[in-house]
Amino acid sequence: MGHYIEVERKVKLYVEDIGTGTPVIFLHGWPLSSRMFEAQFTLLSEQGYRCIGIDQRGFGKSSAPAAGYDYDRLADDVKAVIEYLRLEHAFLIGFSVGGAIAVRYMARHGGYGIQKLALIGAAAPSFSQREDYPHGMKREEADAQIAAAKKDRPQMLRDFGELFLANTASNPISEPFKDWLQLLGLEASAWGTVRTFESLRDEDLRSDIVQIKAATTIFQGALDQICPPEFAKQLLNGIDGSTLVTFEQSGHGILYDEPARFNQELLEFLK
């Protein structure tokens, strides 16, 4: 079943709510929606978990206002959903920019309602390079990505999709599957796509990660070209008591590149 939850005046988020039991909250990556986790929803709802998939504002079936795509507001949106559904002792799973939003949520709201955190190919602690941070995209590259989204969004999505998956010989990804990912990206609003990427470019979570108190597992693809393995090292050093799980055959889309192992590690994390 799905809920529409008003997180601020005239802004409603679509929230997928499948199964019963301990809640597992999923925060999707740019520029997809909670549907990216459909295989996990199928699996976990059979295993006695309640899957909560939040479509971020601007994406999937949620409202797409002109503004409100900074991490503070996106983290506040998550808090509004957790409060509305009265979720307690939940697992929070953030993929890519969803990982960045999860980090801001844990710091800004003191980990309210969350017992454990999983960061999957997280766009953190900073997605773009800074004076004292040489990892990730250069600002000019991020600007070029934004320009590409404004010029020809379908082509930008296709190009991004090629970077997204390792697509190794041991696990080739089918063309229909790539088309499906493209479709999820096309469902997003153009302005939500651009403005969330501006937040990816501009936001810095280095002071947030040291505030995380919950047990944290970091999932990282060794072949990730979008959120490189150096990000995971920074997170591991910054989050007290965190653990790292590396997927040697995975790019950014770990859950698609190594689906069996990903699901096994996810179930391990949820114990």
Catalytic residue among 55, 224, 242, 250: 224
The arithmetic mean of pLDDT across residues 9-37, rounded, is 97
Catalytic residue among 34, 96, 126, 199: 96
Burial of 268 per CB tally in 10 Å (0-12, 13-18, 19+): exposed
pLDDT tens readout for residues 213-249: 999 999 999 999 999 999 999 999 999 999 999 999 9
Any idea what the Cα angle at residue 218 is, between residues 107 and 57, rounded to 5°? Answer: 55
From the list 49, 115, 88, the residue with the least C-alpha distance to 267 is 49
Partner residues linked to 221 by β-bridges: 247
Catalytic residue among 55, 77, 252, 257: 252
**Pairing mode of beta strands 243-247, 215-221:** parallel
Q: What is the three-class DSSP state of 236?
A: helix
Annotated active-site residue 34? The verdict is no
- Backbone CA torsion sign across 7, 216, 214, 241: negative
Walk me through the domains of the chain, giving residue ranges and CATH numbers: 2-269 (3.40.50.1820)
- Backbone CA torsion sign across 171, 175, 180, 182: positive
pLDDT tens readout for residues 29-54: 999 999 999 999 999 999 999 999 99
Q: pLDDT-derived band of residue 168, with 50, 70 and 90 as boundaries?
A: confident
pLDDT at res. 66: 97
Annotated active-site residue 128? The verdict is no
The percent of residues above 70 in pLDDT, for the chain, comes to 100
The arithmetic mean of pLDDT across residues 70-74, rounded, is 98
**Contact (CB, 8 A) for 29 and 36:** yes
pLDDT tens readout for residues 82-115: 999 999 999 999 999 999 999 999 999 999 999 9
Q: What is the three-class DSSP state of 169?
A: coil
Give the integer Cα–Cα distance in Å for 29 and 129.
20
CA separation, residue 155 to residues 31, 138, 185, 187 (Å): 13, 21, 11, 14
> Whole-angstrom distance between the N-terminal and C-terminal Cα of the chain?
25
